[in-house]
Amino acid sequence: MPRCYLGAHLSKEWVDLYHPKDETHHKIANKPRAIRAFLQTMQADDILIFEATSGCDDTLLAQIRAQGVAFVRVNPAHAWYFGRACNLPKTDQVDARMLSAFGAARNLEPQHSTSLAREQLKSLVRRRRQYKDMETQEKNRLKRVTDPALKRDIQSLLVVFARRVEKLAQQIAEHLKKHQELHATSRVLASAPGIGPVTASVLVADMPELGSADRRQVASLAGLAPRAYESGKYKGKRRLGAGRRHVRKVLYMAALSVIAQGRFFQPFIARMKAEGKANKTIIMAVARKLLAILNTLVRQQQPFDMKKMSMNLLPQ
């Protein structure tokens, strides 16, 4: 059955829609009732395509989850470059039509909506990350401040951030315990070397593909897949591309922990050092290998056990 991609451009107040079958445009309020009424008119071969816009797509995603319709949530940068390549002007209606064409041109696969419990966990994890980012900013300011009054002000704010982070950590732990599937996955992840509660919660919240995708796909999603950089006779170094930066960040820290432990990955690390690889290259290679192992653990829903790991995953 051919796919029909319905383009949806989102803003805070409105959703601009384009239907390619009859080439019509519609504008509806970005409200639950209006969105629900529209989704109920979609046909079996219709796929809603829209950009991942922070906050603007929350209502739409909630209704998609409730109605169970097919959708594709695309990277805004990919859609932007496609629009530039088509030499299109920038209006809401044009963007909706462009998204429809983008989906058809790439024949994008429909995505599966995550559970409400995972979305709630994602919100908690995101809020914790925001507090940590603000804490880091204030710590950097504290290093440059000389006024004693300002120092005291920043230090008092750091105490507040520390308390909020601790409270959110408790809320995340309680949320995981309330939902058996998420809790089971979290425990499996935390059994692996270098994976603590924070990293496990980030992976459960932001990598729902773990266990269902292959190791190359999850590496690409996490931004750990090296990409060629070549042109003509020029052979540049392979670079890590795009992906979910916050996932890559926690896996980077997990890889540092694994390397510091000096076990399990030691032969793999020693071989890369002997080949003259840079330290950061080694860290990212360990993170990528660790992610492949985590993907297998989640698929099998079994805790980490080096004796039971398949030979192609063991670091050599």
In tens, the pLDDT along 94-123 reads 999 999 999 999 999 888 777 889 989 999
Residue 241: per-residue pLDDT: 66
Cα–Cα distance, 58 to 73 (Å, whole number): 12
Name, in order, each residue with C-beta under 8 angstroms of 70's C-beta and a sequence gap of 6 or more: 46, 47, 48, 110
**pLDDT tens, residue by residue, 200-223:** 999 999 999 898 888 888 988 888
How far is 259 from 282, CA to CA, in rounded Å? 9
Read off the pTM: 0.82
Q: Per-residue pLDDT for 66 more than 90?
A: no
Contact by Cβ (8 Å): 174, 167? no
257-300 pLDDT, tens digit per residue, is 988 887 778 888 888 888 888 888 889 889 999 999 999 999 99
DSSP annotation string for 259-276: HHHTSSSHHHHHHHHHTT
* Collapsed DSSP state (helix, strand, coil) of residue 225: coil
Number of neighbouring beta carbons within 10 Å of residue 304: 18
**Residue 24: which residues within 8 A CB-CB, separation 6 or more?**
18
CA-nearest of 218, 220, 223, 184 to 204 is 184
Helix (H) or strand (E) holding 304: none
Q: Do the beta carbons of residue 257 and residue 225 sit within 8 Å?
A: no
**Hey, what are 71's tokens?**
């959708």
Domains located in the chain, CATH noted: 4-106 (3.30.420.40), 116-178 (1.20.58), 197-308 (no CATH)
Question: What does the pLDDT look like over 122-164, one tens digit per residue?
Answer: 999 999 999 999 999 999 999 999 999 999 999 999 999 999 9
313 versus 288: which is more confidently predicted? 288
Q: What are the DSSP E strand ranges found in the chain?
A: 4-10, 14-19, 24-29, 46-51, 71-74, 226-227, 230-231, 234-235, 239-240
**Residue corresponding to tokens 């950061």:** 280
